[in-house]
Amino acid sequence: MTETLSDLLCRHIATARWESLPDRARDGARSVALDAIGVMHAASGLAPEAAPFIALARANGAGPCSIIGTPHRVQPLGAALANGALAHAVDYEDAFDRAPAHPNASLVPVLLALAQSEGLVDGRRFLTALAVGGDVACRIALSLRQPMEQGGWYPPPIVAAFGAVAGAANLLGLSPQQTKDALSLTLCQVTMPGEIKHSRRTTLRAVREAFPAQAALTAALLAREGVPGFEEPLEGKSAFFALYAGRQFDPADLTDRLGTHYWGSELTFKPWPSCRGTHPFIEMALDLSARHGIRQSSIECVEVSVDAIQSMLVEPLARKQAPETAIDAKFSVPFTTALALVRGAVRLDDFDAASLTDPEVLAMAARVQATVEHRPEWQPGVGGAMRIVTDDGESHHAWLENALGCPARPLSPAAQRAKFIDCVGRAAVPVMPEAASRLADAILGLDTLADVGALFQPTE
């Protein structure tokens, strides 16, 4: 029998082991773990949007799994839900700039739940599953030839779900057939409508990863129990690519260097807690202001040029100039640019209720005007151009191919560590700097640990 695309991918997922991972994949997985754990801690103290998910997880009973940053322990599916809600809530987690994916926001919560409920899970087993799952999510995103948005979908959580179930299958030791069943069962559950981008009222965009995380863990556990899935959950007649991309995909992107190149080694780690598409404008605003000594009061207008992907960050303009929710502010080029110009930084604290109504920030955001265009020198979704005009008639220009944090311009190890320490200090149960530094060391040394789950026991 000819091996199908789903067969090939699921065989890889099921058989990948630590010993076969390239060093870059191992290093990438360590960095992902550090970043994700830190960001979830921060969200536990800063994101009230996640509170209902935490409450629901607790209502379903105590268990062995930690809700990161809190004193609570719950059942595995509840932990995946609650930690999934935390994973994107402050919009500070890693991103994959090459395609529409946040490959680890669902994956890490799933693996943490398994690490605390499946007996001893050592660090190498955990990191292998992290590398495998993140790579699968990136490969699926890269393979799309028809944008999922064309069908009305919002891609990142959908793509992330399949990476999360791949990681779970690897960690659980599912067979290739069981892995294919798990992908099938994920397909039966996961969705995310594009309306999430357009609603002014909803905060679902902040907590979106709760749903794919719980779906992926459910799928993996059901597959282990023998629930049969489909023969071709990805490429079948009415399967993933048919439903979400009109069957327009390139299988080569799924299989090229499979098992030897892991895309998790080419992620972006965010320097600012907002949508990745806002970052070039934050960076340009900070740079132009510093280089030219631009006074806030002297700025007459700020002109930004975005591409089609980033248009959702400037449209409708009036709403983006005065966002009503923290997550909408994080998805606003005018608001984040104004923060950079008025406050000289964009920090976790800059999206609270006081910031959303700060008259100086809102006045600056009202001066931001946007043009949607395409320039070949910009990397799609993460580049852009800016022009600041001051009251003395001066005009200051900048453009960026890609913003700070990308693989070509990465955060330094020291900056990643500082981000982690800052994040865990903002948890519902804050971790003090000395303890945070020890926790960072332990996460970066996960491959030496015999029990990953024990590392994340809640602090009373």
The answer to whether 168 and 79 have CB atoms below 8 angstroms apart is no
Question: Does the pLDDT of residue 209 top 60, yes or no?
Answer: yes
The answer to whether 50 and 40 have CB atoms below 8 angstroms apart is no
- The per-residue pLDDT for 458 is 75
Q: How far apart are CA 244 and CA 151, in angstroms?
A: 7
According to DSSP, residue 270 is labeled -
Q: 200 falls in which pLDDT band (50, 70, 90)?
A: confident
- The per-residue pLDDT for 457 is 86
Q: 459 falls in which pLDDT band (50, 70, 90)?
A: low
Taken as a whole, the chain contains a residue count of 460
- The per-residue pLDDT for 64 is 97
Question: What does pLDDT average to over the chain?
Answer: 97
Fill in the amino acid letter for 113: A
Task: Determine how many CB atoms are found less than 10 A away from the CB of residue 35.
Answer: 24
Q: Is the peptide bond between 316 and the residue preceding it cis, with omega within 30 degrees of 0?
A: yes
Q: For residue 302, count CB atoms less than 10 angstroms from its CB and return exposed for 0-12, middle for 13-18, buried for 19 or more.
A: buried
Q: For residue 15, count CB atoms less than 10 angstroms from its CB and return exposed for 0-12, middle for 13-18, buried for 19 or more.
A: middle
Question: Does the pLDDT of residue 251 top 60, yes or no?
Answer: yes
DSSP per residue over 51-82, as a string? HHHHHHHHHT-EEEEE-TTSS-EE-HHHHHHH
Q: Which residues are paired to 144 by β-bridges?
A: 249
Task: Determine how many CB atoms are found less than 10 A away from the CB of residue 349.
Answer: 13
3-state secondary structure of 27: helix
The answer to whether 344 and 276 have CB atoms below 8 angstroms apart is no
Fill in the amino acid letter for 104: N
- Tokens 């404008």 label which residue? 281
Q: 100 falls in which pLDDT band (50, 70, 90)?
A: confident
pLDDT digits (tens, 9 = 90+) for 82-94: 999 999 999 999 9
The answer to whether 333 and 314 have CB atoms below 8 angstroms apart is yes
Calculate the CA 101 to chain-centre distance. 7
pLDDT digits (tens, 9 = 90+) for 43-95: 999 999 999 999 999 999 999 999 999 999 999 999 999 999 999 999 999 99
| pTM passes above 0.75 | yes
Q: Show the CA angle centred on residue 175, arms to residues 172 and 177, nearest 5°.
A: 130
Q: 29 falls in which pLDDT band (50, 70, 90)?
A: very high
pLDDT digits (tens, 9 = 90+) for 314-371: 999 999 999 999 999 999 999 999 999 999 999 999 999 999 999 999 999 999 999 9
- Tokens 């972006």 label which residue? 268
Sign of CA dihedral 19, 438, 418, 129: positive
Q: How far apart are CA 335 and CA 399, in angstroms?
A: 19
- Tokens 């680890």 label which residue? 104
3-state secondary structure of 324: coil
Q: Compute the average pLDDT of residues 138-143.
A: 98
Q: Compute the average pLDDT of residues 253-266.
A: 97
3-state secondary structure of 220: helix
What ranges make up the beta strands (E) of 238-394? Answer: 299-306, 368-372, 384-390
- The per-residue pLDDT for 285 is 98
According to DSSP, residue 101 is labeled B
Report percent pLDDT > 90 for the chain: 97
Question: Does the pLDDT of residue 460 top 60, yes or no?
Answer: no
Q: 374 falls in which pLDDT band (50, 70, 90)?
A: confident
Q: 180 falls in which pLDDT band (50, 70, 90)?
A: very high
pLDDT digits (tens, 9 = 90+) for 213-245: 999 999 999 999 999 999 999 999 999 999 999
